[in-house]
Amino acid sequence: MDEASSSGVGHAVVTGGEPMIFGGVEALCAGLRGAGLHVTIETAGTVFRDAACDLMSISPKLANSTPRDGDPRDPLGVWRERHEARRLNVKALQQLIDRYADRQLKFVVSGPGDLAEIEGLLGRLTGWVPADVQLMPEGTSVPDPERVSWVVEACVERGWRYCHRLHVELFGDRRGT
């Protein structure tokens, strides 16, 4: 907290894997806000904690995030099974929506087939409005216009928002951005 508050920045994003699994996240966020920083929490929404923030950025993991069969990084499929079993927690998602008025539901999409899954999940949740929903194209490089086009079209049709990968556009795919 001391480093963040003395750095001169006005915003802090609490992220990095899943920050809500750490018991100290409430104290960290309270301290950052107490130091005058605007705090965003970036979470997959699998764990609920009542942490003080200015924006709750909830990014539920879609099926497209599950490692594929035969992934050489997971030859036994252990990570795949664990990820698939834990990637969604509808109760925690609903608690986050109910608790945080300043929120966004950000979905990373890999293709038009993801839209049915998103709509199905949203149909299980209450209290959100279309403007809460953002779609972000998956990728580690700037998407081509064709890829952006279907995402923008889906957003316009549903009253959702398009979210581009600004950090990739500005700095490329590298750590620390």
Long-range contacts at 145-152 (CB < 8 A, ≥ 24 apart): 150/112, 151/109
60 — pLDDT class (breaks 50, 70, 90): very high
> In sequence order, which residues have a C-beta less than 8 Å from that of residue 154 and are 6 or more positions away?
112, 115, 135, 160
- Token pair listed for 63: 């099926």
- Domain edges within the chain: 1-51, 59-177
Residue whose pair of structure tokens reads 């079209």 in the numeric block: 153
Summarised one tens digit per residue, pLDDT across range 36-48 is: 999 999 999 999 9
Residue 108 identity (one-letter amino acid): V
Residue pLDDT, tens place only, 76-108: 888 778 877 888 999 999 999 999 999 999 999
What string of DSSP letters covers 116-129?
HHHHHHHHT--S--
pLDDT at position 69 is 82
- The residue ranking higher by pLDDT, 92 or 63, is 92
Angle ∠(83,89,90) on CA atoms, nearest 5: 145
| Amino acid of residue 25 | V
The 8-class DSSP code of residue 59 comes to -
Contact 1, 21 (CB under 8 A): no
